[in-house]
Structures are given as C-alpha cells and as structure tokens.
C-alpha cells in the first residue's frame, strides 16, 4: 500500500510540475472536438440524415471524444519501459527488487492513470460538455461505464506487458508496439465505430479482446440500445474479466518460459 501511495504522489507531482503546459493543454484540447464537429456535421448534412449506422450526430462526435478520454485512461508505457530496461541492462537491477516486475509495472501504470484521470480526463470532460453537451448521457450510463473502462485498462495493460516481454527475444520491440497499438485501435473501434465494418471483419473483431478496450465501453457511455439493460452490462463485465484472466495467465506462462533464456547485458 505504501508503494502505491508513493508512486501515486510521484505521478501527481509529474503532472503539476509543469503547470503552464497543463493549462495550455486545457485550452487547446477542444481542437479534437472542433475537428470532429466540423467533419461529422459535413458528413451528416451531406447525407441529409439524422442517423448513420445507428449513431446520431451528437453520439458520433462524442464517440471520438470518449475514444480520446479512454486513450488517456488506459495508456501506459510498460511495453516501452521493458524494452528500454533490456537494452540498457537495467533489467538486472529491476529483477533484484523486493517486488516483482509485474506488480511494479502494474502499480506504476495504475497510479499514472489516476493522475491522468484527475488532471486530464475530468477537466476535459467538463470542457467538452460545456462546448457540446452530451444530451444522451445519464447517471446510470456513466455508472455502467466506469467499471467497464477499468477492466479495459486491465486488458490493455496486460497486452502492453506481453508486448514488453517480447523485447526479451527481440530487444528492440518498437515495431511490435506500433503494430499491436494500431491493431488494437482499428479492430477495437478506436479509429471508426465497428458498426461501419463489413460483417466478416466485424466477426473477427468479436473474437478478439480489443473491442472491450474502446468500442464496448463507449456503447455504455453513449447509452446506445445495444448496451441497454443490466444483463448486457453484467455479460460485458464477465467477458472482460475472462479476457483479463486469459491474458494474465499468458503473462505468467510467457514470463516463466522467457526467464529460462533471459540474458542481461546492456550498457
């Protein structure tokens, strides 16, 4: 607990140490919103329709706002840090710590995101709401969204950790990082709602965990019919939990296998 508290303090200090940059980001972040408003207003106006693929104009604009917020809430640099530690040889020292590498990275990612929630997501949500009110949102949908997005964070962290472990074989895993992040983003609904995909591609997305990072949590926040009802919410939570268990199991197995062949050189 003491370690979580200390890393949380460091994470908060990291955010407030450069207040000018933080203030500028609040002023300029709505640019994302303005860009989305301009583009989708044109598309909807040109199509002369109130709904495209089941999304109203407000919902589609907020879809991308929520993608932006989810990216802040889940992002971690575990994959990059592990590669850097392997390249520099620092991993040797890390393995000697009284806390396991997995737990250390997890607490680090978790506390960093708490800082992201306090200093980025909440202020941005309020600013976005003032500029373009999310008329679809109610208290219930927000309450459903919170645990779903927490499990999305866990899924993404475990994927990042697995990508990080790949550096034990490849040393530099930058291409792997880019590939996985892009695949997660496109097949998870981070670039375009999955409803726009053709059926075969949609079926592939449903067999993968990525849609539980972006697309599914967003459905709850947007209060869409596809996410209505407690049973769907519970089913989503249990499916996300299953993916967490599967990925965690993979992390344990791969860690054990890789520890047999790890060589710490660096320098």
Partner 1 sequence: MDSLYGLARLYFWNMKISLQKMMVYRFDFIASLLVSILVSGIGPYVQYLYFTRSNGYPGWTLNEMFLFQGLLLLWLGLRDLLFGDIRGYVIKFIRSGDFDKLLIKPYSPVGVILVSGFSLSGIGPCSAGMVVLLVAWSQLNLTLCWETVVLLIVMFISGLLLYLAIIIMFSAITIMLVQMNGIGLIIDRLLGFADYPVDIFPKAVQTVLLTALPFAVWTFYPTQILLGRSDIGMWVASASSLIVLWISLQCWKRCLHHYTSAGG
Q: How many residues bind to partner 1 according to rule CB under 8 A? A: 39
Strand ranges in the chain using DSSP code E only, listed in sequence order: 51-52, 55-56
176 binds partner 1 (CB under 8 A): yes
Specify the stretch interacting with partner 1 by CB under 8 A; choose among 5-13, 17-25, 155-163, 255-263: 17-25
263 binds partner 1 (CB under 8 A): no
Q: What H or E segment, with its residue span, contains residue 265?
A: none
Tokens encoding 221? 């926040």
Farthest CA pair distance, the chain: 63
Specify the stretch interacting with partner 1 by CB under 8 A; choose among 103-111, 172-180, 209-217, 258-266: 172-180
Specify the stretch interacting with partner 1 by CB under 8 A; choose among 30-38, 205-213, 217-225, 236-244: 30-38
Specify the stretch interacting with partner 1 by CB under 8 A; choose among 18-26, 92-100, 104-112, 231-239: 18-26
End-to-end CA distance of the chain: 33
Q: Which residues pair with residue 51 across a beta bridge?
A: 56
Minimum distance of partner 1 from residue 230's CB (angstroms): 31
Calpha distance 244→250 (Å, rounded): 10
182 binds partner 1 (CB under 8 A): yes
Tokens encoding 86? 């392997």
56 binds partner 1 (CB under 8 A): no
Quick one: CA torsion of 219, 222, 225, 228, rounded to 10 degrees?
Answer: 80
Among 11, 78, 173, 223, binds partner 1 (CB under 8 A): 173
- CA–CA distances in Å: residue 254 to residues 20, 22, 250: 43, 39, 6
Tokens 């972040």 belong to residue = 29
50 binds partner 1 (CB under 8 A): no
179 binds partner 1 (CB under 8 A): yes
Contact residues for partner 1, defined by CB under 8 A:
17-18, 20-22, 24-25, 28-29, 31-32, 35, 38-39, 42-49, 52-53, 170-176, 178-179, 182, 186, 191-192, 196-197
């Amino acid at each position: 607990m003491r370690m979580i508290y200390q890393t949380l303090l460091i994470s908060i200090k990291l955010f407030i140490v450069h207040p000018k940059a933080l203030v500028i980001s609040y002023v300029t972040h709505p640019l994302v919103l303005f860009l989305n408003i301009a583009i989708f207003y044109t598309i909807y106006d040109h199509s002369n329709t109130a709904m495209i693929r089941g999304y109203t104009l407000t919902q589609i604009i907020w879809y991308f706002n929520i993608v932006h917020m989810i990216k802040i809430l889940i992002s971690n640099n575990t994959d990059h840090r592990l590669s850097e530690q392997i390249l520099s040889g620092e991993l040797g020292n890390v393995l000697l710590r009284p806390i396991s590498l997995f737990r250390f990275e997890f607490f680090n990612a978790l506390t960093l995101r708490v800082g992201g929630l306090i200093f980025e997501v909440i202020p941005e949500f309020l600013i976005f709401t003032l500029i373009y009110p999310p008329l679809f949102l109610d208290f219930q949908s927000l309450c459903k969204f919170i645990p779903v997005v927490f499990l999305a964070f866990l899924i993404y962290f475990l994927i990042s950790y697995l990508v990080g472990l790949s550096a034990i074989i490849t040393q530099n895993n930058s291409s792997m990082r880019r590939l996985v992040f892009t695949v997660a983003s496109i097949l998870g609904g981070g670039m375009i709602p999955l409803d726009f995909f053709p059926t075969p591609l949609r079926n592939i997305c449903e067999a993968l965990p990525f849609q539980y990072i972006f697309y599914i949590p967003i459905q709850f926040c947007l209060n869409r019919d596809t996410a209505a009802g407690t049973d769907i919410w519970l089913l989503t939570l249990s499916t996300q939990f299953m993916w967490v268990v599967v990925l965690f199991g993979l992390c344990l197995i791969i860690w054990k296998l890789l520890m047999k062949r790890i060589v710490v050189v660096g320098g």
